[in-house]
Chain A
Amino acid sequence: MRRRRRRANEHGIWYPRWYWPGLASPGALWLLVLFLVPLYTVLAISFGTIDPIFRDAVPIWDPLRWNSAAFIDILHKLAGSHSFLLPPVERTLIYVCAATALCLVIGYPVAYFVARYGGKQRGLLLVLLIAPFWVSYMMRMLAWINLLGSDGWVNRGLQLLHLVPHPINWLAGDPITVVLGLVYGYIPYMILPLFAGLDRIDPALLEAARDLGAGRLHTFLRVTLPMSKQAILAGMVIVTLPMFGDYFTNDLLSGSPRTAMIGNVIDDSVLTPGQGTDAAALVILLTLLLTIPMIYYLRSTAKAMREGV
């Protein structure tokens, strides 16, 4: 290509027809083969059969021959006289809702303070807010395992203050520990979008509200809160999505069937002989359940991407 083949028109530049698709093609091919095909494999397995001896899942690739036994099985496990999947599903919903609400209740004031009153410390505060992003999730859970053990600092502190006679067994099937673990794990992902949203609100608007006689609370309720609605939604979706697929927080901080979440059921089934199709069907159902938040997140990402760096 020595010379430009065509002139630039008003919308942009004329490159050869294959040029841009050519650039995108390695990544596109990658996504097709290693993202779309795996997702289809889950479908093919959820509608597949089980090997009679080894009991591993055998996919059926042709949709015309699909076998819905696994879905019927899962529906029986979800509802009906012998159902048992309802408790983990309910638990998941309760834990995720509680943890998301807590993330918001704790995260909003923090994000609000840093965005509005950060002042000279703003840089430092931001660094501290972002720091947990760079600490691995497992490390942060390990930190709490150390603190919550029977001879950990939490129990020692409580005993020192004579608040409890015996060490509390935090790490064996306590739903509170699991919810707090989820909050601790995911709250940084909530605070940053909240901060970004609150930071964008023009202080002049707040001033205008004040000038018009609105009190502090009034200003907050009528101006700040409505204007940060998008950020709140985004933050909630961002923490909710991974929480629905979380199983390791529960594994590490509880390990008891009494706090099992839907993620644990999936994780247990994936490698259990004979339950591969179940696992796939559950993954499909989970995906369907999360479609709306996923689309919301997808669109807000597309929007953030357009706003640019």
Chain B
Amino acid sequence: MDVHPRRGGRAITRRAFLRGALGAAIAVPTAGALLEACATSSESAATVRTSLPLARRNHPVRWPIYKDNPPIKSGLSPERNATLKIYNWADYIYKAVVNDFADHYNCKVEISTFNNTDEALSKLRSGELDFDVMFPTIDILGKMVVSQLVQPLNHSYIPNLTKHVWPAFQDPFYDRGWRYTVPYTIYTTGITWRTDFVPDDIPGMQNPYDIFWDTRYKGKIHLLDDYREAMAMVLLRNGITNVNTTSRRDLSLVSRQLQELARKVDPSLDVSDYTDVPEGKAWIHQAWSGDMVSSQYYMPKGQSPRVIRYWYPPDGRGVIGNDLITVLRSARNPVLAHAFLNYMLSPKAALKNMSWNGYQPPQRSIDPNKLVAQGYIPPTLKSAVVRESDFARGFELLELDPKTDALWHDVWQRFKAG
């Protein structure tokens, strides 16, 4: 303080301000070199990687097992007094099932959730999470294996896979020899709507996807807030069945039509289709089959879930997929984690889980044709049933090469910017 406070104090004069700012500007470049010296870890991470194999049905991938990331040894007993940490989507696993597991193995289970796989991947890569089990989608598996976020499985702990799971998943194209993953649920992506608000015969339309562009339902149309799903829908609308397209022309068509959609109907973007539709927030929603099955439990009291319908192309040429369960490399309880995978593949746990989250597990004991009769799926939603044969006709959203992925993200950014 140059001046006595009582005699006026010190103002930040414009000159002093500029001087301060200038000082900062000069100091910064020198500091830059200093910071560079500290920031070794992120620099080295950027340099070493080669290209990533992309798994396709006609180009299956057998992921390598790295020397420094081997599977656990056979014959170990599960960790005692452990807390199994699970990293999963929100509302995607039945807590009662998890509690059963905890009781059986006398351990605790903690579930943390992520909102999308981009977020999950970046947080896992930051190396700060020590989860045991994670539920990824197929399209990020390659990145997870190459960056060694997941550990290879020791099959001796997971007999239920060969015993109970559909043969198609015994040796899947995205992970030959199921070295890193077991399947969790199967689903299709389609259109859901409320018959009490939308009188149109959507399945009878020449192109049912056109309903998303229908201005009569402005403000009541929701799309999934997932760039792959929403953009694949536009591709399918135009008869482009390569939902992993690398063509700039296809993508610019998608971009144009999404812009048109935004302009016409003010769509909302979210992944809460299972509550928005029963609550009447959305009248038409791009939706996952499993979410629609569970939407019946979110219907307000006194209203019948029969007003909810779901459409998936009857010829099976729509988006289909399955999610995975993996053991992370960071697992503190790898043996228990293997036991958890095995447990989730048991018919009892799988069925119980489905009775809550609505997503079908690819279990042999579950006959898709009987799910409606058994009461798991309302008769009005029988189109939400997924059959083994659907996988032969449907299209999966698979990993894109980074450059293409950037193009897809650009289209999505453009759409979201309105």
Chain A residues near B (Cβ < 8 Å): 11-12, 36-37, 40-41, 43-44, 49, 51-56, 58-59, 61-64, 84-85, 87-88, 91, 149-150, 169, 171-174, 254-260, 264-265, 268-269, 271-275, 295, 298-299, 302-303, 306
Contact = CB atoms under 8 A, between A and B. Distances in A.
B201 interface: no
B417 A61 contact: no
Contacts of A40: 28, 31-32, 35
B46 interface: yes
B269 A255 contact: yes
B409 A257 contact: no
Nearest to A255: B268
Contacts of A54: 121, 125, 143, 147
Contacts of A302: 11-12
Interface of B is mostly: helix
Contacts, number: 140
A87 B262 CA distance: 13
B42 interface: yes
Given A40-B32, A169-B220, A271-B118, A256 B409 contact: no
Given A150-B280, A173-B266, A303-B11, A268 B416 contact: yes
14 contacts: A43-B28, A51-B45, A52-B49, A53-B147, A56-B125, A59-B39, A61-B32, A84-B414, A85-B417, A91-B418, A169-B219, A268-B413, A298-B12, A306-B11
B268 A272 contact: no
A257 B125 contact: no
Given A44-B32, A52-B49, A274 B406 contact: yes
Contacts of B51: 53
Contact of B220 (A64, A172, A259, A275): A172
A275 B49 CA distance: 20
Q: Which of A85, A273, A299 has the most CB of B within 10 A?
A: A273
B35 A37 contact: yes
A173 B217 CA distance: 13
B418 A274 contact: no
Q: Which of A53, A58, A84, A88 has the most CB of B within 10 A?
A: A53
Contacts of A255: 268-270
Nearest to A305: B9
Contacts of B11: 302-303, 306
Nearest to B266: A173
B122 interface: yes
B267 interface: yes
Q: Which of A12, A56, A173, A272 has the most CB of B within 10 A?
A: A272
Given A85-B417, A272-B413, A52 B402 contact: yes
